[in-house]
Amino acid sequence: MDENLKKTEQQLDSESMKGAKNRRLILGILLVIGGLFYLSIGLGIFPESWNINAWRFWPLIVVFAGLGMISAKHWFSIIIGIITAVIIIGLAALAIFYNVSK
Amino acid sequence: MVYFGKIYNFIKSMPKESPAKKLYRSKTNRIIFGICGGLGEYFKMDPLIFRILFILLGLLQGIGILLYLILAFVIPGGTDNTAGEEQDKDFVEKISKNARGLADEVTDKNSWLSSPRNMLGLIILIIGLMLLTQSLFPGVFVGTFIAIILPLAIIIVGAAFIIKKK
Lowest mean pLDDT among A19-28, A38-47, A82-91, B104-113: B104-113
Confidence of residue B83 (pLDDT cuts 50, 70, 90): very low
ipTM over 0.90: no
Confidence of residue B25 (pLDDT cuts 50, 70, 90): confident
Determine whether the interchain pair B137/A95 forms a contact, defined as Cβ–Cβ distance below 8 Å. Answer: yes
Q: Give the Cα-Cα-Cα angle B58, B60, B62 (nearest 5 degrees).
A: 50
A72, closest residue in chain B (CA to CA): B118
Among B3, B44, B132, B142, the strongest candidate for a mutation testing the A interface, having the largest count of A CBs within 10 A, is B132
Four-residue CA torsion sign, B15, B21, B24, B27 = positive
Q: Which of B94, B109, B124 sits opposite A62 (nearest CB)?
A: B124
Considering the entire predicted model, what is its pTM? 0.50
Reference A8, options B9, B96, B103, B2; nearest CA is B96
Q: Where are the domains of chain A?
A: 2-101
Q: Which of A64, A71, A91 sits opposite B115 (nearest CB)?
A: A71
**Mind listing the pLDDT tens digit for each residue in B109-152?**
456 666 777 777 787 888 888 888 888 887 766 666 667 767 77
**Mind listing the pLDDT tens digit for each residue in A32-72?**
888 898 899 889 888 888 888 878 888 888 888 788 777 66
